[in-house]
Structure 1
Amino acid sequence: MENINEYIIGDENKNVRIDVFLSDVNKEVTRSHIKKLIDDEQVTVNGKTVKPSYKLNIGDKVKIIIPEPKELEINPLDYPLDIIYEDEDILIVNKEKGMVVHPAPGHYDDTLVNAIMHHCKDNLSGINGELRPGIVHRIDRDTSGILVICKNDMAHNNIAAQLKEHSIKRRYYAIVCGNIKEDEGTVDAPIGRNPNDRKKMQANVKNGRHAVTHFKVLERFGNYTYVECELETGRTHQIRVHMKLIGHPLLGDSVYGAHKSPFKLEGQTLHAGVLGFIHPRTGEYVEFKADLPEYFEKLIKILRNKTNN
């Protein structure tokens, strides 16, 4: 059954974008889902449809219809998962490089979601809709590493709230081009869609969203640097965009990199290595780690040998 929520706007929400307001008051629904509902005309202001960028006025009557999640129409895939931890609420997996997280055009039957559906059967949250059961956050296709899958809506709501508060620890490992002179630093630059290419993200664009990445140098290899990046926020392509911004794009990144990699790589050299959060049921802090993939370890050895010889 669909949910219908109505609000009357007060002083505190004057001039707030409607998509921002609705994602704040409907914490179980992602902002991207809110935008889709607005585009699908499931949101009205004073009885009229609006755009996601509409800014609220005092006294506006806002109505949102949140349809019941559709029955899943994606096929389970019998595929071996690298499971780090599992209980009744969450599943922690180490996603391999090259695997898409959730179904999308061109990938409807070979994604992580398909494999998770086979493993978990019907025990997945349905908040993010029919194509993203259990998915509360994601990493890019060519990024390897750790993800938490939610088995029920309670866990999904809880972890989504922690993501929104930026309280989840997310630590990544990357090899970037060039020699970073500083031992550590912070990139604080908003990120939004590239106005000239909607498939790309860009730093410091108009209406970009707040984004902060902390980095620390782990090892230097002359023309390359091995770094640890910790996310304070979690924007699309955040590390890739921020490292490009400071002149050190990720090695192998065909989208944001300056030139072709001299090594045989499929996409950026980026691994989600650490994930820590408050467990939704126990209330205790838990932290999980995923070892670097084999290709990444081999590449470090190659670079180390070239540097020392």
Structure 2
Amino acid sequence: MKRNGPSPRRQGGALPRKTTPARQFAVTEPTELLLFLLDKLAGQGRNSVKSILAHGQVSVDDRVETKYNHPLKPGQIVSISKDKKTTAPGLIGLRILHEDDDVIVVYKDAGLLSIATEQETELTAYRQLTAHVRLKNEKNRIFVLHRLDRETSGVMMFAKSERVQQKMQDNWSEVVKERSYVALVEGLVKKSQGTITSWLKESSTLKMYSSQNSNDGQHAVTHYKVLKASRAYSLLEVNLETGRKNQIRVHMQDIGHPVVGDKKYGAKSKSIGRLGLHARVLSFEHPTTGQLMRFESPIPKPFLSQFAEDSAKH
């Protein structure tokens, strides 16, 4: 991964600091950990005690414990440290590339929803990152800046305040300097590069489609360049001038080369077991420092392996 700008906060291990002796309490009767702490730390509020637990400052017999309902037995020793030890909870299908006071940049795996819909209540990038920022303060939140489709992998970011969200979204085309994807599409794309322009509309079945009539929908512009090509597949670098829902997927169908695995938009091939779309580069001007930040992720190996397989067949 390449990155410029402010260095990311450490995601692993405790930050070095002076340690102070832990307070210790002996357990004299069966109870649960949170109840025990509320009793022993009577001067602190419930949220404060929960925060101490969440930050890994509580140990039972020298083993860090964060569960509120962890059972305690007589004879055990509960230690409370002033030093925060835990990192963020384990993230599933998600990796933090950079985090500061204003933004959080992540790599999302294919298969993970960015944000839940009304019908979806499963694990999402948004939900996991909300839990992550609330480790520091229960009132912390994250705010949506853009989305990646469930089956699209790659780099995306969220704001950490409504102010930053508004500032970046109001000036999105100026703030975002580069937003490029790689798309594995069906067939041989003969033009080495091109631009696709249309007006995108959404059908009653929630499927996007192109209208050639001016001002009939949302204006969408996609630029592409062929990186690799064979008779069966083409690997394209795709740059978005506009960021509309399903824009790349619709435009690839429009030129007769649907994205691999994209049955919704005309694909017949399922050769890589996922959608052949990956958000490779995200570059933007930091909303506070003004510094240019750039994050690049490698092209997924299954995208490249298709060309070796295809050449072996011919």
Q: TM-score range by the shorter chain?
A: 0.5 to 0.7
Q: Distance in 1 between matches of 2:248 and 2:123?
A: 26
Distance 1:185 1:123, change over 3 A: farther
Residue in structure 2 matched with residue 289 of structure 1 by the alignment: 296
Is residue 274 of structure 1 aligned with residue 273 of structure 2?
A: no
Residue in structure 1 matched with residue 42 of structure 2 by the alignment: none
Residue in structure 1 matched with residue 308 of structure 2 by the alignment: 304
- 1:1-309 to structure 2, matched below 5 A, reads 79-80=91-92, 81-121=94-134, 122=138, 133-163=142-172, 167-194=176-203, 197-204=204-211, 207-259=216-268, 261-266=269-274, 268-293=275-300, 297-308=301-312, 309=314
Structure 1, gaps ≥5 residues long: 1-75, 126-132
Three-state SS of the structure 1 residue aligned to 2:205 is strand
Structure 2, gaps ≥5 residues long: 1-87
Three-state SS of the structure 2 residue aligned to 1:247 is coil
TM-score (norm 2): 0.65
Q: Distance in 2 between matches of 1:91 and 1:242?
A: 30
Three-state SS of the structure 2 residue aligned to 1:105 is coil
Distance 1:78 1:167, change over 3 A: closer
C-alpha displacement of 1:114: 1.1
| Runs ≥4 residues deviating over 6 A | none
Distance 1:123 1:276, change over 3 A: farther
Three-state SS of the structure 2 residue aligned to 1:156 is helix
CA-to-aligned-CA distance 1:185-241 (integer Å, 9 cap, x gap):
0001111113xx431000116631111000000001212100000000000000000
C-alpha displacement of 1:290: 2.0
Q: Distance in 2 between matches of 1:117 and 1:255?
A: 31
Q: Distance in 2 between matches of 1:139 and 1:123?
A: 26
Number of residue pairs the alignment of both structures matches: 220
Aligned amino acid, residue 288 of structure 2? R
Q: Distance in 2 between matches of 1:115 and 1:191?
A: 31
Higher relative contact order, chain-length normalized (CA < 8 Å, sep 6+): 2
Q: Distance in 2 between matches of 1:231 and 1:299?
A: 20
Distance 1:111 1:205, change over 3 A: farther
C-alpha displacement of 1:90: 0.7
Distance 1:253 1:186, change over 3 A: same
Residue in structure 2 matched with residue 12 of structure 1 by the alignment: none
Distance 1:166 1:83, change over 3 A: closer
Q: Distance in 2 between matches of 1:256 and 1:273?
A: 21
Aligned amino acid, residue 87 of structure 1? D
Alpha-carbon contact 2:98-2:105 (below 8 Å) kept? yes
Three-state SS of the structure 2 residue aligned to 1:113 is helix
Q: Distance in 1 between matches of 2:129 and 2:175?
A: 26
C-alpha displacement of 1:153: 2.1
C-alpha displacement of 1:151: 0.7
Q: Distance in 1 between matches of 2:102 and 2:180?
A: 22
Q: Distance in 2 between matches of 1:85 and 1:97?
A: 20
TM-score (norm 1): 0.66
Distance 1:114 1:167, change over 3 A: closer
Q: Distance in 1 between matches of 2:124 and 2:187?
A: 33
